[in-house]
Amino acid sequence: MYSPDHRKDWESVEDPKEHRVCGWCCAWTSLLIGCVVFALVVATALFASFLQGSMPEFRIKQMNISHFQLVTRGDQTLLNSKLDLILNATNNNNKYDFSYGTLSVRVSTTGVDLGRAKIAPFKQPRRHASVLNMTTTVQKADINEEDGEDFKSDYKTRQVVISVWLTGHIGIDYNTMKFSKLPLNVYCNSINQMAIDSGIQPKCRVKMFAFL
């Protein structure tokens, strides 16, 4: 006859020592994985900082609005303009060579888009400066009347303030190591034409990664 006492004889009895061993194994495995992940994060951050510190320097050398025309047609205000820009890109270090991909350029003033341009790929040896010439134009751009009048006033008094953005990729050659197609973002914000005319060359902000 089957009895509850007989059933207990067949039940497995778990050893508390096995629980402790498994617990220690899981703890050490988690700790090891955590250390590896932490080391990878630190190494990635250090590598990103190394690359960020290797970036070239960009400055606005010259700017000039060589053509300006504001046309009013009924309720429309149309802008025709031509902006000439010269930037200096400088490789200040003595260890790396740079190779730039095509750079896209966008220029604007307050409330007004002043056009876009492209800079062809080029190479830059260490301790070398490159002069980048570009021209942006807009034709019959429909703009806000008030923004247009403000732009016209600033143009006449040479007090135009512009912002310039360059985006693209850059490669770094370091001895036998080569890093290619690294993101390059250059921000030249609030560039005042009067400052440029007086000989000041404003420095732009150069970033690779958004988190740096």
Query: pTM of the predicted model, to two decimals?
Result: 0.75
Task: Please check whether residue 169 lies inside any domain of the structure.
Answer: yes
Residues 44 and 78 in one domain: no
Residues 47 and 63 in one domain: no
Residues 113 and 79 in one domain: yes
Task: Please check whether residue 12 lies inside any domain of the structure.
Answer: no
**Residue 206 and residue 189: Cα distance in Å, rounded?**
11
Instruction: Give the SS3 label for residue 93.
Output: coil
Token pair of 71 as six digits = 């046309």
Residue with the larger pLDDT of the pair 115 and 41? 115
175: left (phi over 0), alpha (psi -120 to 50) or beta: left
pLDDT tens sequence across 34-75: 666 655 544 444 455 555 557 899 999 999 999 999 999 888
Give pLDDT, residue 43: 43
Residue with the larger pLDDT of the pair 112 and 18? 112
**Residue 71 and residue 148: Cα distance in Å, rounded?**
10
pLDDT tens sequence across 152-192: 999 999 999 999 999 999 999 887 788 888 999 999 999 99
Task: Please check whether residue 78 lies inside any domain of the structure.
Answer: yes
Cβ contacts of 92 within 8 Å, gap of 6 or more: 56, 57, 127
CA distances from 91 to 23, 42, 131, 185 (A): 55, 27, 12, 16
Give pLDDT, residue 85: 97
How many distinct structural domains can be found in the chain? 2
pLDDT band at 111 (very low <50, low <70, confident <90, very high): confident
Give pLDDT, residue 24: 65
Give pLDDT, residue 134: 96
**Residue 152 and residue 154: Cα distance in Å, rounded?**
5
Task: Please check whether residue 148 lies inside any domain of the structure.
Answer: yes
In which domain, by residue range, is 75 found? 57-207
Residues 36 and 135 in one domain: no
| Across 118-133, average pLDDT | 96
What percent of the chain is predicted at pLDDT more than 70? 75
Residues 149 and 179 in one domain: yes
Mean pLDDT of the chain: 84
pLDDT at 89 over 70: yes
Give pLDDT, residue 44: 45
Residues 72 and 94 in one domain: yes
Give pLDDT, residue 19: 55
Owner of token pair 């988690």: 30
